Structure 1
Amino acid sequence: MRNFWTACGHQHLTRNERGWLVASPDYWRLWLQRPEMALVPESCKAEKRLHAALAESPNKQVTLADYKHFKDDDVRENYKLFLRFRDDVESAGSLEAAYMGWIQSGNIQLPPLFIDLVVQAIVCNVLTGVDDAWVWRAAELLFRRQRITVQEGRVLSGDSDTLDTLQATGGLGEMGRLLMEGGAPLKAVDVKVLHQDNEDRYLSQREGLGRYAFLLDMTHEIQNELPHGLILKMVNSRSGLKALSAVLARWVQHFLGVAVQIEPVQKVDDPAWRWHVGLDVTATALLNDLYQGTELTAQRQQQLISLFKLRFDNPQDMRADVQGKPVYLGLAMNEQGLLKLKPQNLLLNLPLARAA
């Protein structure tokens, strides 16, 4: 696996016979170093004692008696959540099996941060052997909320948390925040659209704020104005939508064991439309309305980022009543221009002939 995103701990995971990720003691030790779990000067004796015991033996069985006397209620709750998470993963046998258990339960009792870090580690596994910067950047959509903007006809996707932080600090951290609050002028942060000229820079940045400071162009077509008022429309050869399609196809193969092909499309012109899956909450509602023949307002149409067509390589992998039919996918931003892709939707809602 590429040495990306080491904060998610993928470097401390091994693969089982199925190729799914198994936690090592060092994986759990990394969690103990996270801000939510790390010791601070105010940590009480009971917390220090349990933290040291878990650092020594990360799979140690812990009872309520080990942390009920913590002085800080928030710290006590953090330990309860961490231990529930650890025990779920160990019981399931792999991160992928635990993830499937959580999403199939319909009642995930872990913070979104836990799920996002698990998905991030799994994505590293899914993209083993891939060196394409656009594919890696598109994969961030599976675990990082995006802010979508349209500039001069181009649809750009940027990491929401990173953009918010850069806007607040000028890219200079806490010092930048203080300077901006004091009215000091700061140079505008240079956020780049991922391009052939900077792909090596993207691939070389492993950690820190800059790691997510690249915008992904998710435009279907590029328009070039020619002399005499002519406009040439060309397919965007480096569209983030194509890269995202590749990521999602690998995601399905990894979890469900079925091969699919996914391609972005601009519209659904299919009188035999039988099945669709929204990749986020907004897209699900939009696709449901389109399927029912409900006319969308102009505002809702503008929220739709793209449609996709998914086909199974082997139609026998599909339910008999829809064999050979395409599955349409949708991706959309909400009214605030935010996109939170839900990769679990593909695992739960495809018309499979058998249970995964």
Structure 2
Amino acid sequence: MADYWPGCGWQFLRSDADGQLVVTDDFLRHLLQRPELAPLPESCAAERALHQELLAQPRQAVGTARLAALADPDAADNYAVWLRFRERLLARPTLEGSYLQLFQRDVDVPPLLVHQLTQVLLRQVLGEDATPFQARAAELLFRPQRIAVQGDGQVMAADEETVESQALAATPGSLVDLLRQAGATPREAELDVLGEANAGQYWERSEAHDLVVQLNHGQPALAALCEVIERWIGHFLGVRVRVEVAREIDEDQWVWHVGLDAQATAVLNALYRGEDVDEAQGRRMLCLFRLEFADPHVLRPEVAGHPVWLAMAMDEGQRLRLKPQNLLLNLPLARQS
């Protein structure tokens, strides 16, 4: 298996004895190379000097006066964001701990950086034995997807950024066009659909994010997403769970649920309260999952012995934006691991 997602910077981190990630100076240097911070030809001398000094000592303190001295106010703002992100990364001994703490307050760093952090952590979670379907399914947790429901009922998910970048050159009625604005049956696909025959190509294309996956029941990508969720929870919370696709919620077993995104959370909350859900909301629901704990004693007494129901849904623009932190903060554990 080739390496995957090399651009996320996982290789610059260090694992501790428990398999948790520790932030290194090299990882901070990697973040400093992001295009938002890399000096441009027209950058002032003060900005260039600051960048060089941070590359040399990426943990050094930088005062507000130093940022105010930069000629470009946008550059000063970008450095202020990076410094706040650095503070969040170093808040706890491990990256996992800092990630959890990030969501225990109002998140004050851009989604782009949160997504990169999620990707790095998923790279650690999946390790070297990931399958192509698991790696592609994991992308759903840190890259927004565009969803297309085809005439035959197939539910296709493609990377939103990739769809937008290819949309101008897309053939009318193609899969790219369908993913961008929905409606027609595709005649040809500029984006390849990941399947058993081409799964091995994922490794060399992992940075391109150009493989579509099918999210219908019985498809390998959906089964792989269940496995990714199991490993994500196990890595962070130290508990073993089993996640399976479900057809419907058993009302007698419904005592707890977690939405994997804002849309699904709203629908599940409404249904649990006995409220009506309009037809459009119902159509946007993509999948329901049943999560069970191997050891019921790790749960709150009122939930022990019952499954936790999970769901994901697309929004009105047919976008899927999962929030993997919901799986870490909203499960009914008797204690935080």
Q: TM-score, normalised by structure 1?
A: 0.86
> How far apart are 1:65 and its partner, in Å?
2.7
Does 2:251 correspond to 1:270?
Answer: yes
Query: What does residue 134 of structure 1 align with?
Result: 133
Query: What does residue 22 of structure 1 align with?
Result: 22
Query: What does residue 166 of structure 1 align with?
Result: 166
Of residues 203, 211, 220 in structure 2, which corresponds to 1:214? Answer: 211
Q: 1:149 to 1:94 in 2, by over 3 A?
A: same
Matched residue SS, 1:163: helix
Counterpart CA distance in 2 for 1:348 and 1:54 is: 34
> How far apart are 1:142 and its partner, in Å?
0.7
Counterpart CA distance in 2 for 1:199 and 1:78 is: 38
Matched residue SS, 2:41: coil
Query: What does residue 58 of structure 1 align with?
Result: 58
> How far apart are 1:168 and its partner, in Å?
2.7
Query: What does residue 123 of structure 1 align with?
Result: 122
> How far apart are 1:9 and its partner, in Å?
0.6
Matched residue SS, 1:43: coil
- Amino acid of the residue matched to residue 130 of structure 1? D
Of residues 257, 261, 265 in structure 2, which corresponds to 1:284? Answer: 265
> How far apart are 1:326 and its partner, in Å?
0.4
Query: What does residue 36 of structure 2 align with?
Result: 36
> How far apart are 1:273 and its partner, in Å?
1.0
Deviations 1:330-350 (A, max 9, x none): 110011111100001111110
Counterpart CA distance in 2 for 1:18 and 1:200 is: 31
Counterpart CA distance in 2 for 1:348 and 1:259 is: 16
Does 2:155 correspond to 1:155?
Answer: yes
> How far apart are 1:94 and its partner, in Å?
2.2
The 5-angstrom pairing of residues 61-210 of structure 1 reads 61-105=61-105, 107-151=106-150, 152-169=152-169, 190-207=190-207
Where structure 1 has 5 or more consecutive residues not aligned to the other structure, the ranges are 172-187, 221-235
Query: What does residue 230 of structure 1 align with?
Result: none
Counterpart CA distance in 2 for 1:139 and 1:272 is: 28
- Amino acid of the residue matched to residue 129 of structure 1? E
> How far apart are 1:167 and its partner, in Å?
0.8
Query: What does residue 228 of structure 1 align with?
Result: none
Does 2:258 correspond to 1:261?
Answer: no
Aligned residues: 320
> How far apart are 1:2 and its partner, in Å?
6.3
Counterpart CA distance in 2 for 1:345 and 1:206 is: 25
Query: What does residue 336 of structure 1 align with?
Result: 317
- Does the CA contact (< 8 Å) of 1:22 and 1:94 recur in 2? yes
- Does the CA contact (< 8 Å) of 1:170 and 1:189 recur in 2? no
Rg comparison, structure with higher value = 1
The 5-angstrom pairing of residues 294-305 of structure 1 reads 294-305=275-286
Matched residue SS, 2:244: strand
- Amino acid of the residue matched to residue 287 of structure 2? S
Deviations 1:12-36 (A, max 9, x none): 0111122111122221111121110
- Does the CA contact (< 8 Å) of 2:3 and 2:203 recur in 1? no
Matched residue SS, 2:252: coil
Counterpart CA distance in 2 for 1:97 and 1:124 is: 16
Q: TM-score, normalised by structure 2?
A: 0.91
- Is 327-336 or 51-60 further displaced after alignment? 51-60
Deviations 1:300-340 (A, max 9, x none): 21101010000000000000111110000011001111110
> How far apart are 1:92 and its partner, in Å?
1.4
Counterpart CA distance in 2 for 1:133 and 1:302 is: 29
Counterpart CA distance in 1 for 2:235 and 2:143 is: 20
Q: 1:2 to 1:90 in 2, by over 3 A?
A: farther
Counterpart CA distance in 1 for 2:160 and 2:144 is: 6
Matched residue SS, 1:104: coil
Counterpart CA distance in 2 for 1:204 and 1:267 is: 38
Q: 1:344 to 1:68 in 2, by over 3 A?
A: same
Report the aligned-residue RMSD.
1.7
> How far apart are 1:91 and its partner, in Å?
3.1
- Amino acid of the residue matched to residue 51 of structure 1? H
Deviations 1:147-184 (A, max 9, x none): 1111221111111111011113559xxxxxxxxxxxxx
Counterpart CA distance in 2 for 1:341 and 1:131 is: 20
Identity of aligned residues (%): 40
Deviations 1:238-287 (A, max 9, x none): 33221111101111111111111000112113323100000000000111
Query: What does residue 177 of structure 1 align with?
Result: none
Counterpart CA distance in 1 for 2:43 and 2:69 is: 12
Counterpart CA distance in 1 for 2:288 and 2:213 is: 17
Of residues 309, 315, 328 in structure 1, which corresponds to 2:290? Answer: 309
- Amino acid of the residue matched to residue 224 of structure 2? A
Matched residue SS, 2:80: helix
- Does the CA contact (< 8 Å) of 1:278 and 1:329 recur in 2? yes
